[in-house]
Structure 1
Amino acid sequence: MSIAKAISNAMSGLTATARGTETVAANLANVMTPGYARRDLAVTAQLLGGGVRIDGITRIVNASLLSESRLAASAVGDVSVRANFQLRMEKVIGLPGEAGSLSSALTSFQTALSAAATRPDDEIRLAQVASTASALARGLNAASEAVQTARGAAQQGIAADVATLNTSLERVAYLNARIAILDADGKDASPLIDERQQMIDRIARIVPVQEVPRDAGKVALFTAEGAVLLDGSVPAKLGFEGADQVTAGQVVGAPLQLLSLNGQPLEPAQMRLFGGGSLAAQFQIRDQLGPELQAELDDMAFELHQRLADPAIDPSLGAGDPDLFTDRGDPATAATVTGLAGRIAVNAAIDPGQGGALWRLRAGLAAASPEPTGHSAVLTALAEALDRNRPPEAGSSFVGQGSLASRFGTVESRVSTRRVEAQADMAIRTSRQATITSSIMADGVDTDAEMQRLLQYEQSYAANARVLVAVDEMIKQLLRI
């Protein structure tokens, strides 16, 4: 081997060693960086001329694990949104026997009625009846408002998810173009590929996404159900329009809107193309879970109204007169049940603050005189009507005979069950995501292995340096001859 070839071989080894130590340093520095994939230096021995050739930096990624991780992230995004909704609803409606729950408000009202029936002449007891009735109405109002607030928040969440999707898809398309240019120039595009992976991971939390490799380092993106998000240079454009505030009774098309894809509105059946992530969960809260709970609250409010609207309870009332609970001052009807829980209120005839009088609880809402003060028939009838087992109202979600307390307990039990099921589902999906994440981390940067590689590069550096030292000594000897 000639001196020139020895120098060339040693210099190629030193160059490879320098690049190798750079990859080790990058791996160690980014061991906890999201989206970062371990780098490995690819070198081959040069058969002609000797030495080593650097073929590039290899980005080590387990594509199968990465795909599973994204699907798991979508599942967690879906169930976490739904679980948070169910938890908020349980806190508003409460649990049976829990202070502040709807059933506790009903119990307080029933207790006040029973106490007033034993002393109908006691103004303090009559005031307690009016107070607890108002508290019950306010509890129903607050629960209904919470449902519509959650639906409005879901509407805003949809808009935010769509904006994030569009921004991320545009960024992926841009990175695709930049990566293709670097690939054509033979340059390392690993940092851009890392950034692209982060963008795709962000998309995966919103909708389940599948990544398909394309030429020149580009990728195409599809939802798990087959909708094209990006395949080429122009990403798909999602659209969504809707006011922040949602009210009871609003449904899809009247006036709530679904997504549009590239300017074309999607039909309800086509929405499955974007199912499985946080976006689908927001639509589910707005269009299914929220209206379902609102309907149950409305059924409770309507049954409360109907039980006390019996003409036999208060003979002073005529046909069409509002009873103790009203729909904002008017009698509630089957045609106006939707949203009733948000509108139900105590009749102003018993509210001194609105020109009413407490004695009307005893004598009748339309009675002309408070006499006799010992009359308790109306109060007794009111209490009995709430306790009486009776079939549900037509169109109600309740089944079978039951008292009003059992109806309230049924709704609270349903809400609690949904919360438990959602949180159990979240625990399962979160555990699966954590397992996959651990596998990805184990398959990623191993600090012990990186330190071993660093020692190998140190030994390689020392060996090549010794070759140069030996060549230097040889040249000096030749010059001294």
Structure 2
Amino acid sequence: MSIARALSNAVSGLTATARGTETVAANLANVMTPGYGRREVALSAQTLGGNGGGVRIDGATRMVNATLVSEARLAASARSESSVRADFLARMTETIGLPGEEGALTTALTRFRSALQSAAARPDDELRLTSVVDAAARLAERLNQSSAAVQEARATADRAIASDVSALNAGLERVAYLNRRIAILESEGADPSSLVDERQAVIDGIGQIVPVQEVAREHGKVALFTTEGAVLLDGSQPTRLAFTAVGQMTPDLVAGTAPMMRLVQNGQELTEGQMRLFSGGSLAANFAVRDELAPQVQQELDALAFDLHERLADPAADGTLGVADPGLFTDAGGLADAASVNGLAQRLEVNAQVRPELGGDLWRIRSGIGAATAGPVGDSSLLLSLVDALGAVGASQPGSGFDGNGSLQDRFGTVEARASTRKVNAETDHAMRNSRAETISARLMADGVDSDAEMQRLLQYEQAYAANARVIQAIEEMMDNILRL
């Protein structure tokens, strides 16, 4: 081997070890960076004129387990969905309360019934009659507050959908841009690994919103689809999603009817069936809260309010009422109707006829809402009749969501129990999905940069560098000896 060729081999070796050292340093520096793919320098033998010509650097290879990355994204999407559901159901449980809690619905009902019983013991005592009106007002207020909290949760979910759609569009635009840049770098023979890292991190973010599948395309590009088959990006332009939040939410608003819209894809609002293409992730969970979970809770609250209204508006409980007269509780001042029960929990209020501050008379609690004159102050029959009406076991209203016979206390307790059960189930589901996501994330991290292996590789590069340096040193000594001849 000639001296020139030996020198060329040694120099190429030094260049390769320098590049390898840089790669190890980059790996170690990004050991905790999300989306970073471990690099390995790809080397091959270089030949010149059929003889050995040193080593050639073919580039840095990005080492990523695509299957594990896909599993991690799907697990993260499932965790994001369960988190939204669990947070909503926890808020509903806090709003409705649990038996025995100070702010629970059953506590308000129990205090109202106790106030009626106390007034029945001393119907002549105006303070006790006032307590009945106050307890009734607090019960109505608790139903009002619970209904308002449900609608606020729907509005929050509606705003979260708009935020998710905005983030999704921005993420897809960024992936499309990175696709173009990566293709250009590959055509120029440059290393696009840093852009591939960024693209992976962006797609991971998209996966929090909708479960996404990545499909490789030519020139380093990727296409993105939801797991149910909706096209997000396949080509130079991503699909365009749109959504406009309602703002203030009311119980009568239903998905698919203006102004409450579903997702719009490329200018076309999706049907209920098409929305399944975007199931999973925070986007679907927020739609579920707005269109399914919250309306379910609202329906149960309305059923409680209607049952309470009907029991005390029954002429059998208060003989002074006509069939069209509201009882102690009213629907915004009027008689509630089964056809318009939606949102009743938010409109329920105490009849102005028994509220002195609104021109009403306390004696109507004792003598009857529709009584023309005050009856005997010692007559407790109406108060006892109201107590019996609250405790009576009756059939549930059609469409109320309750089954079988039960008292009003039973149905209030049922709603609280359902809220608690849903919360526990949602938290259990979230804990399972979170554990799975963390397990897969740990596997992904373990499959990434191994600092011990990188340090071992660094020692190998150091040894290779020293060997090539000794060759150059020997060549230098040989040249010096030749020049001294």
CA distance in 2, matches of 1:390, 1:367: 27
Q: For 1:217, give the aligned amino acid.
A: G
| 2:90 aligned with 1:114 | no
CA distance in 1, matches of 2:465, 2:399: 83
What's the CA shift for 1:359? Answer: 2.0
What's the CA shift for 1:234? Answer: 0.8
Greater mean alpha carbon deviation, residues 375-384 or residues 315-324:
315-324
SS of residue in 2 equivalent to 1:145: helix
1:85 is aligned, of 78, 88, 91, to: 88
TM-score by length of 1: 0.98
- Matching of residues 5-84 of structure 1 within 5 Å: 5-48=5-48, 49-84=52-87
Conservation of the 8 A alpha-carbon contact between 2:302 and 2:345: yes
Partner of 1:2: 2
What's the CA shift for 1:370? Answer: 3.3
- Matching of residues 172-321 of structure 1 within 5 Å: 172-255=175-258, 256-321=260-325
Partner of 1:437: 441
SS of residue in 2 equivalent to 1:329: coil
2:106 is aligned, of 103, 108, 126, to: 103
Partner of 2:345: 341
Q: Deviations over 1:168-211 (max 9, x none)?
A: 10100000000000001110101100110011011111111110
SS of residue in 2 equivalent to 1:35: coil
Please, which runs of 5 or more residues in structure 2 have no aligned partner? none
SS of residue in 1 equivalent to 2:56: strand
Q: For 2:340, give the aligned amino acid.
A: T
What's the CA shift for 1:244? Answer: 1.8
Q: Deviations over 1:202-252 (max 9, x none)?
A: 111111111000111000111101111111111111112341222102112
What's the CA shift for 1:64? Answer: 0.4
What's the CA shift for 1:257? Answer: 1.1
Please, which runs of 5 or more residues in structure 1 have no aligned partner? none
Conservation of the 8 A alpha-carbon contact between 2:311 and 2:317: no
What's the CA shift for 1:140? Answer: 0.4
Partner of 1:404: 408
Conservation of the 8 A alpha-carbon contact between 2:313 and 2:321: no
- Matching of residues 119-130 of structure 1 within 5 Å: 119-130=122-133
CA distance in 1, matches of 2:123, 2:360: 17
Greater mean alpha carbon deviation, residues 223-232 or residues 255-264:
255-264
Q: Deviations over 1:313-340 (max 9, x none)?
A: 2222234222100001101111110000
CA distance in 1, matches of 2:395, 2:273: 36
What's the CA shift for 1:163? Answer: 0.7
What's the CA shift for 1:367? Answer: 2.7
Partner of 2:359: 355
Partner of 2:481: 477
Q: For 2:277, give the aligned amino acid.
A: L
What's the CA shift for 1:371? Answer: 3.9
> What RMSD in Å do the two structures reach over aligned CA positions?
1.1
2:418 is aligned, of 414, 421, 445, to: 414
CA distance in 2, matches of 1:434, 1:395: 42
CA distance in 1, matches of 2:429, 2:143: 29
| 2:381 aligned with 1:374 | no
Structure 1 ranges of 4+ moved more than 6 A: none
What's the CA shift for 1:131? Answer: 1.1
What's the CA shift for 1:366? Answer: 2.8
Greater mean alpha carbon deviation, residues 191-200 or residues 355-364:
355-364
SS of residue in 2 equivalent to 1:143: helix
CA distance in 1, matches of 2:47, 2:257: 74
SS of residue in 1 equivalent to 2:406: coil
Partner of 2:173: 170
Partner of 1:157: 160
What's the CA shift for 1:17? Answer: 0.9
- Matching of residues 129-148 of structure 1 within 5 Å: 129-148=132-151
Q: How many percent identity over aligned positions?
A: 61
Conservation of the 8 A alpha-carbon contact between 2:315 and 2:321: yes
